[in-house]
Amino acid sequence: MTRRPVAIILALLAAALVVSVAGFVMLYAFMGRQPTVPSRAALSLEVGGDIAEVPASDVVAYLSDATPPTVRGIVDNLRKAKTDARVRAVLLKPTGFASPYWGKV
């Protein structure tokens, strides 16, 4: 009689495993897609505010994915656009800057 509870527990564990794997497959299918970029696209960058040189080492901001853009990130995006054959133009829109350091632009 001790075999039945063990079989039920193993069946529940197997069902949980199958549901977990199916969930990860669905998550990968929906979130793993890259955004589509048409040919002859223009990259538009709105740069403004207080732009940091490097990202902050704040754990809460890192986990919440609310990190502000950095100079390094903007330069990396411009370099990616340069090598991408689909990007034909770059539109840089400087907005209100909180600091007088226009060299960052």
Mark whether 61 and 101 lie in a shared domain: yes
The predicted structure's pLDDT at residue 19: 96
Tell me the whole-structure pTM to 2 decimals: 0.54
Mark whether 84 and 67 lie in a shared domain: yes
Can you tell me which residue has the tokens 């840089």?
A: 92
Mark whether 11 and 53 lie in a shared domain: no
Look up residue 37 and give its DSSP letter: -
Mark whether 95 and 58 lie in a shared domain: yes
Mark whether 84 and 56 lie in a shared domain: yes
Mark whether 56 and 102 lie in a shared domain: yes
| Long-range contacts, 34-42 (Cβ 8 Å, 24+) | 37/84, 37/86, 37/87, 38/86, 39/86, 40/86, 40/88, 41/86, 41/87, 41/88, 42/87, 42/88, 42/89, 42/90, 42/91
Give the model confidence (pLDDT) of 57-82 as tens digits.
Answer: 766 666 666 667 788 888 898 899 89
Mark whether 10 and 55 lie in a shared domain: no
Mark whether 86 and 47 lie in a shared domain: yes
Question: How far is residue 84's CA from residue 94's CA, in Å, rounded to a whole number?
Answer: 23
Give the model confidence (pLDDT) of 6-44 as tens digits.
Answer: 889 999 999 999 999 999 998 888 877 777 888 888 888
Q: How many domains does the chain have?
A: 2
Domain ranges, residue 83: 39-105
What is the enclosing helix (H) or strand (E) of 100? none
Mark whether 82 and 58 lie in a shared domain: yes
Mark whether 21 and 54 lie in a shared domain: no
